[in-house]
Every structure is written in structure tokens, then in C-alpha cells.
Amino acid sequence: MTRPISITKTSQSKLSSVDFDNIPFGKVFSDHMFIADYKDGEWQDLRIVPFGPMEMHPAMMGIHYGQSIFEGMKASKMADGTPVFFRPEMHAKRINRSAERMCMPTFPEDTFVQALHELVGLDANWIPPHEGSALYIRPIMYATDEFIGVKPSNTYRLLIFTGPVGPYYPKPVSLITEQKYVRAVRGGVGEAKAAGNYGGSLLPAKIANSKGYDQVMWLDAHEFKYVQEVGTMNLFFVIDDVVVTPSTNGAILKGITRDSILAILREKGYPVEERMVSIDEIVSAYKAGKLQEAFGAGTAAVIAHVSKIEHDGFLMELPPMEDRKIGPMLKDEINGLRSGRLDDHYGWVVPVKTAEAVAI
């Protein structure tokens, strides 16, 4: 069911200032944003307005007690110029799973998708034309009660804003396992895209950077034995021609790119295993010459190939890119679906409705 969304257009578009051949990731933002406010037990005042700063009360609960979640998704252009989303309904479902875990109100999934169409339809010219680039879409929800006290807020705000981006990882990444700090535990909020998950990852990532590595390979919180994720992405290994990925056991985000990869692999007949994966197994596979590939998977990067992994001072250098088959195939497949170069028989690619909205 559609709901009325008021639209106020910007009087001064910034589009002409954007160099689509040189876009820094996450620093350029489009002309408009969607806002909805939750109060008196319902979402109301749905609107699209010019992108810009908002006033914030110093006691706003979202910045004190961590009731803050987000999503990350993309819109891209097909070869004929048609703007499209990739599995938008999955993001509507996931933000609500995050909301439920953080004791926040869910947002109607059909209205979420409607807001995406209206917002991106309005700013469709901001979508970069190059395959591999995209319009990054950032929905966020946070508590807005003006109150100092640890309890769920009664009011919330949902925002959706966008910005053009290029490739997140232009080259393969290096990883080091973390054996002091943890990302998430079972029963915690690892399956939610909660802001605190990412805040807590910054110090170990900084330490990894100081050692010359791009990202952290997270291990489980109990034994520091089982692999969880890499940085902010799900993780895959190719071991003796079998694709292996850690099972989502409550501490690992149920990635939409991860789900897409598993579907593609299974349809193409690749052997796939979702299970607990120990770092000892990875080391043993490497020593036996059976560790053929490792890659991260997520919305921002799509596929981030791993060049090397260090664990307990032991360095594993993975095969060169020209010797890899599965990771490059998956990246080409997903980018090809988004661009229309490949036929979408999955029904994942959804054209953006770009009918001109009436400004008010």
C-alpha cells in the first residue's frame, strides 16, 4: 500500500560539480533525502527534502544509548540507462530485523521500498554510468527522545540519503587475525546493522593498519578459533575447489550479497558449504596447497579479494588474481546483473520508478 510522501525539491542542484570519473567513496551526497518520524505509536510526516544538516538536541537518546541502526544498498544503471535497484525488498526486511533487535519500531516494508523509488527516482541522474560504480543508498534509524535515562525511546527518525560511489576496494586486501578484541558474540547484536558494532571495530582495525594490513579477520569471542567476518564483510574461502563460508550463527550478519553469492554458486553447480570454519583449518589448507582463494563480500565492495592473511605470525600469501576463478566470476556476475549485461533470471534487479514527482 502506498502512502503519500511530500516532496520539496532543492533549488540548487550540486550535480554539475561531480566528476563521475573520480568519486571518493562516501564523501559526495546527492540533492535530496527522505525523512519519516515515529511518534504517538506510528510513522508519520513522510517527506523528501533537500539534503542538508539537521538540528539535534544534546540529550537525543540515539547518541547516548546506541539505539541507532543502518542499511547499505545500491542503485546502478543498466547499459541502456535504466536505473535499477538490487534486491531492495531484502534490505527492507533486514532493517526491520535490526530494529527489532535494538528495541525499535519496524518500518512498513512496502513504504520503505516506495520511499526508495521516489527518492532515487528524483535523483536518478546522480547514478554513475560506469559498471562497478553505483549510487550508494544509506537508510538509518535512530532514537530521538530528549531524555537522559537508559530505556527505549518513544520517538524515532528514519532517514534515507544517497551518494555516488566508485569501487570500495580497488585492489586485493591484506588481513590479520584479531585475538584480543571481538566483533560480536552469540546472543549479542552481531546480526543487526547496529552502529555500535562498527564503532567497536575501529580500534582493532587501526591496530591492523599500523601493522601494515588493510583489515581485521574476526575470530569467535569464546575460543578465538572460528572465523567470523572480515572487516565489515562476510567471508568466503575456496578450499580444494569447495567454497566454504562461516554459517550465520547469531554473531554474523546475514549479508544480502552473501545470500546472492550462495544462490549463484549453487545454481552453477559449485560445491558450497555453510559451516563453522576454524582458522586452524585455513592454515592447514594453505600448508597443503589447497587454499585457492579468499574474499570478502558485502554491498559496498561486492567482492573484495584477499591477497594475504597473517595468523599468529604465520603469513599466508594467496595465489595471484590470474589464478583465481570463483571470486572474479562472482564479481562479474553481480556487476553484470546490475548493468543488464547478464540476464536476470533471479528477479533481483528492480527498475527504479522515475516518474516525475510533483514538488510542493
Using CA atoms, how far apart are residues 305 and 257, in angstroms rounded to an integer?
14
Does the domain at residues 6-166 carry the CATH identifier 3.30.470.10?
Answer: yes
Give the pLDDT band (50/70/90) at residue 358: very low
Residue 347 has pLDDT above 80, yes or no: yes
Give the pLDDT band (50/70/90) at residue 267: very high
Tens digit of pLDDT for each residue in 111-138? 999 999 999 999 999 999 888 889 999 9
Tens digit of pLDDT for each residue in 287-324? 999 999 999 999 988 999 999 999 999 999 999 999 99
Residue 354 has pLDDT above 80, yes or no: no
Give the pLDDT band (50/70/90) at residue 1: low
Using CA atoms, how far apart are residues 189 and 103, in angstroms rounded to an integer?
11
- What share of the chain in percent tops pLDDT 90? 90
Tens digit of pLDDT for each residue in 156-165? 999 999 999 9
| Single pTM value for the model | 0.94
Residue 359 has pLDDT above 50, yes or no: no
Residues of the chain with CATH 3.20.10.10: 173-324
Tens digit of pLDDT for each residue in 41-84? 999 999 999 999 999 999 999 999 999 999 999 999 998 999 99
Tens digit of pLDDT for each residue in 89-102? 999 999 999 999 99
H or E stretch at 44: strand 42-50
pLDDT at res. 170: 75
What are all long-range contacts of 53-62, with beta carbons under 8 Å and residues at least 24 apart? 57/144, 57/146, 59/146, 59/147, 59/148, 60/142, 60/143, 60/144, 60/145, 60/146, 61/143, 61/144, 61/145, 61/146, 61/147, 61/153, 62/142, 62/143, 62/144, 62/153
Q: Per DSSP, what are the bridge partners of residue 174? A: 308
Tens digit of pLDDT for each residue in 234-253? 999 999 999 999 999 889 99
Tens digit of pLDDT for each residue in 161-213? 999 998 777 789 999 999 999 999 999 999 999 999 999 999 999 999 999 99
Name the CATH topology of 173-324: D-amino Acid Aminotransferase; Chain A, domain 2 (3.20.10)
Residues of the chain with CATH 3.30.470.10: 6-166
